[in-house]
Structure 1
């Protein structure tokens, strides 16, 4: 009966289109009623208790900071600086788009915000440079998920909370995978531009670079302050999120003067609506996670997997396939909140490092965000840029293959994620 409550009930409700927070709450309620000896007030305690977390506070703060940076001129100046530096080579505009998404990811951690911010700035130049609208939107859609991998990453924060792992270590482990993804995408774009004979953009001009660098110096300092403070031990990831908000407000309102306090008030309401959606899911998932833990289901699941006697490489392959499927349906935070309590004991039993596994989970769910047919970024790009979904499904295939190749590298070469942890020592 436990397996039905833990797995079958949520899956069935999801297939019926029931909202994820309702699914999790119903599963928790049914589980409590099945136990019989657990009072219903335990559900209330689990829901409220799941939000009583200092690290979790980083999620709404990073979302708010990313929104300010996207609308307050910080993201635009970073893109303009990157464009001025990489000019003069075939494919430089596409490489600049990837680099801009990577830098924005080091400040925000929100994939949809990255698609919106970078897309609005680079889509028209990409089209004019001969890439075509469908290919350009597909590139923006795929590069947007770099934000999920490069720290500070909201899914990493949530995984750290659920799996009881150091968020700082997860951030350190995410640096190299994020750079590998960006490098692989850039190499593909340089090859694509040469094969398709994309026109060469304006050559690099140092006066232009100096002008853009001078204009963007405060924007460039944003990721330096955020990540430098975390890895330097000056403040925690949660405190860094608060610093990011304060920094973005001061620079956008008083230095660049592209936002007024009225604009900031409206943005606060927009961000609050998105944050509320996420926190409702977190609260419901807290009750579901509590049910899973108290029922002993993870222990039985570990025993079942142990009985299959799967080699670690085969276990990881099965988990990867499952995560890709789930990630194409659920947003990363929701997927982590549902699956991490189930999978973490299994991989620890198999001797897989939980930090390494956290990056495997993160990259899988990042890929799922633009995997047809239900990836969130596909719908975001469709809504933002009006590109038909069937065209997007075809357009993202090359980028999907690149991400999957990098995923296999990260899965079976743990050093890619674990070696950077020595930088913290």
Structure 2
């Protein structure tokens, strides 16, 4: 799995070893009690969001009496849910991070480096606490339009969440860190902060050279040192704004708030929960068993099933994390029995995440339509064939790698058995069409539609597959809240970094440079591919789209590139960057869900990434694949 912030931290879901000494024992008991309370609140918040959005759909579509304040309340609860989820992710060690270098250290050195990484995270939280408080206090004068209450009720989630993360972080440090390591780590953090503070007057005159120092140098140093990705982004951005600009630091917190408060992101925890529900009710297993009956007996057959299942499940959730969460637990055990290496499995899972970025109802498609004015229905139509091209490229690599796979344990199904499995899987196979129909017919928005999927899955699980364990319901809510908290916190930090890059003039310089690229439409597409692969690996899809979409789509139009075609090229390029190590946060999501170390996947991902790059070039070169059915 993705390595926790401290190497002694047990995997997610496993409690910390009970300390024997008195002070540590008290800290441990206090920490466990606090985390149990936070887990309960997070579960209630997520369940409340599901009920609220479902009630909104019923009121609007069935009763024709929309609840005008539902979106406002949902957004308010979502920020609290995200911050509580981020707290739980820190407690469980589920904030994603890169350990390619750290894992190669000796055990004792690694413990020290992990202690330093956790200390850096705590230092960031301590530095942004006061700005977060002032930001929330400033929001008190704003009255929400529908509920007519102070916006401080929503914004207070930021300082409260930061305080809770500080408490949890310090507790983990005290319980699991060695005293000498803790003292040394605190000293290192203090020296570095002091050094940068003293260098402030020297850094300010450097102008845009500071972009390399902070957004390349510091980010790379923190990421490869094992500091969680979100905290690495935030440290670089906070340092850049504090030391090289006169920007009030409350603005940094405000940009984080903006990134975490997009209502469309509410789809993330809901769809993650839907993915867990699909697995728990047996729907995912039924779907995969049917696909396995068709091709599972072939060399690399289960890998083909993984690619096909990701294509199908993408239509269910629209969230790549939820897609992977629904597929990996079902397929991976059997694939490992056949001798597949876990590194190859997570590499394929990650690249299928990039492959399916254009399959509706994709959150990125919805975002790109909202900020550029491109028809979302056209984007939904145009996104299906490009994903097929990339899937075919991945299948070719699978064929090369698994030509000599041992099939002694593979089962060949008769036509009668395939037909029976098809009938059994039909309710599960129908779910993507139910989801798409609800969106296309206007029954629910892309965010609300997950609640329809949740109700459908519960009904099918109870009545058809008869696999529904209510005892797991609470744990699934907590798991969805924790994972979504880690993801949304990354997006918030990436949004703050994107805003800082915009204020520096970087985005305008990039747009001006790309508009002057020779070669007309083809040159513009090629430079766009390179740029968005890089941006996708650093900024994540939604912030990159919000930042550069309005700037570059008009240039693409002037260059003669169809807007839907350009959208597909941009989204697939960002997807490749998002799921590419060492910076792509989507890759770490795949590792977290697969419970495989990121280091293991890096050794196998090269061939799959090359296939994606080839497929992307084909999509870019053949516009018909994107616009042929419009």
TM exceeds 0.5? yes
Any idea what SS the aligned residue of 1:216 has?
helix
**Counterpart among 320, 331, 337 of residue 529 in structure 2:** 320
Any idea what SS the aligned residue of 1:256 has?
coil
Match of 2:422 in 1: 213
Question: Aligned ranges for residues 209-288 of structure 1 at < 5 Å?
Answer: 209-232=418-441, 235-252=444-461, 255-280=464-489
| Displacement after TM superposition at 1:236 (Å) | 4.0
**Counterpart among 404, 410, 413 of residue 196 in structure 1:** 404
Any idea what SS the aligned residue of 2:580 has?
coil
> Once the two structures are superposed, what CA deviation does each residue of 1:244-274 show, in whole Å capped at 9, x if it has no partner?
2332333345543433444233322332333
Any idea what SS the aligned residue of 1:217 has?
helix
Preserved CA contact (<8 Å) 1:107 1:226? yes
> Once the two structures are superposed, what CA deviation does each residue of 1:89-140 show, in whole Å capped at 9, x if it has no partner?
4443322222122212221233344444423222233243354554444333
Mark the runs of 5 or more structure 2 residues left unpaired by the alignment.
1-204, 223-230
Q: TM-score, normalised by structure 1?
A: 0.79
CA distance change for structure 1 residues 187 and 350 in 2, over 3 Å: closer, same or farther? same
CA distance in 1 between counterparts of 2:589 and 2:261 reads 31
CA distance in 2 between counterparts of 1:383 and 1:295 reads 34
| Displacement after TM superposition at 1:357 (Å) | 2.5
Question: Aligned ranges for residues 332-411 of structure 1 at < 5 Å?
Answer: 332-376=541-585, 378-380=587-589, 382=591, 389=598, 391-411=600-620
Q: TM-score, normalised by structure 2?
A: 0.56
The size of the alignment, in residue pairs, is 416
CA distance in 2 between counterparts of 1:381 and 1:279 reads 15
* Rg larger in structure: 2
CA distance in 1 between counterparts of 2:211 and 2:378 reads 30
337-346 or 264-273, which deviates more = 337-346
CA distance in 2 between counterparts of 1:228 and 1:267 reads 27
**Counterpart among 219, 242, 257 of residue 14 in structure 1:** 219
Preserved CA contact (<8 Å) 2:579 2:586? yes
**Counterpart among 266, 272, 275 of residue 66 in structure 1:** 275
> Once the two structures are superposed, what CA deviation does each residue of 1:381-407 show, in whole Å capped at 9, x if it has no partner?
555656565553232222111111111
CA distance change for structure 1 residues 353 and 66 in 2, over 3 Å: closer, same or farther? farther
Preserved CA contact (<8 Å) 1:282 1:337? no
Mark the runs of 5 or more structure 1 residues left unpaired by the alignment.
none
Tell which has more relative contact order, 1 or 2 (C-alpha 8 A, sep 6+): 1
Any idea what SS the aligned residue of 1:237 has?
coil
**Two-structure CA RMSD over aligned residues (Å):** 4.0
Any idea what SS the aligned residue of 2:561 has?
coil
Preserved CA contact (<8 Å) 2:494 2:540? no
| Displacement after TM superposition at 1:314 (Å) | 1.8
76-85 or 257-266, which deviates more = 257-266
Any idea what SS the aligned residue of 1:148 has?
coil
**Counterpart among 390, 400, 403 of residue 181 in structure 1:** 390
CA distance change for structure 1 residues 10 and 245 in 2, over 3 Å: closer, same or farther? farther
CA distance in 1 between counterparts of 2:210 and 2:622 reads 32
